[in-house]
Amino acid sequence: MRVLVATDAWRPQINGVVRSLEYLASEAPSLGADISFLTPADFRTVPLPGYREIRLALPSIGRIERAIAAARPDSVHIATEGPIGWITRHVCQTRGYPFTTSYHTRFPEYLAARLPVPLRWSYAALRRFHNGGDGIMVGSPSLEQALKAHGFRKLMPWSRGVDAELFCPRVERPLAFA
């Protein structure tokens, strides 16, 4: 199975979305999946206003159509709701490509804490984005419940797992106080 993952969050960013996608790519071959990525590195970028460390991609419909055609995916997964995500969603819907999305961050709350944007506006936009696909992957039961309460449909649990090489049980307790 060939899966194209479209994401606005990618290296050199270091965050939960990037780490989850890197781990997905490393584990997919053992499950018989071939993962390719459509990232900001594939487009011209500009600094995100107010957050200059993040580069905002400037994709075009034509470039994304060509990237999807070249990847020949069985399915497309849209990991983020940025410019790459929105245009990939548009192409998938107009060309009939099946796609899923994932909900990583409580963005409406983040945005409302920084700008005078009502939560209902942000949730309406995100509902439109995510409910258009074949399923929305969510990382926790509490997030699933919160999204259901905001009208999100086709929610699917997505356990991103634990890196057992990095986090493993051990006998010694370096900070044991007892």
> Residue ranges of the domains in the chain?
2-157
For the segment(s) 2-157, the CATH number from 3.30.1360.120, 1.10.10.10, 3.40.50.2000, 3.90.1140.10 is 3.40.50.2000
Residue 56 has a CB neighbour count (10 Å cut-off) of: 17
Per-residue pLDDT of the chain (178 residues; tens, 9 = 90+): 999 999 999 998 888 888 889 988 998 999 999 999 999 999 999 998 888 888 899 999 999 999 999 999 999 999 999 999 999 999 999 999 999 999 988 889 988 998 899 999 999 999 999 999 999 999 889 999 999 999 999 999 987 655 666 666 666 666 666 5
Phi, psi of 21 (to 5 degrees): -70, -40
Question: What are the Cα distances from residue 97, in Å, to 3, 41, 132, 136, 154?
Answer: 11, 23, 12, 16, 17
**Distance of alpha carbon 88 from alpha carbon 112, whole angstroms:** 26
**Distance of alpha carbon 2 from alpha carbon 10, whole angstroms:** 20
Phi, psi of 122 (to 5 degrees): -65, -45
